[in-house]
Structure 1
């Protein structure tokens, strides 16, 4: 019997709930909140960025069909976290906080970046 190989979980500089700015691609310069991080593809969905049009098939409840605008995904490398203290894009690093846990920090200011999905 063959063992399943489990790959280590990726650590990204972006998390769901972060405010980010797009630094490359067609949506360059746009800001938004990360809705979802797609770990398998190294991509993220950002509110109002990389909008795509989906064609919905006609159904009994919607006999005409429709066009739906939704967010596409953006590669993680094209996103930069916005420092909550200054409101400017910043690189991030990890260091141990007062509670002994690894936490992201802004390399521009040195302040910790709060985890958006966890209540502080």
Structure 2
């Protein structure tokens, strides 16, 4: 139970970071971090949080939540849909941001999300 609680706390912190990336895109801030992986994580976060929460719930009450199967089914469908739609949406966001005058910063690695900035001096 301690391990599941620790993983839940760590994942909540990571999901806040992912949500801050998406909010910066929605608000069109001066610095936006976005990629297909950010979008996948954004839509998979509810499934992972629910999974960790259910494991803690199971260890405390020794039973599964009442509507566990139904909730899991829909959260899994959302996560799979994010896999399918993340790449076309990522390509569109890349086009839209470049069209709106954003520049891309150099990536640290090929796996890191792309950082878009209004002014190149904001690149770190």
Greater relative CO, 1 or 2 (CA 8 Å, sep 6+): 2
Q: Same fold (TM over 0.5)?
A: no
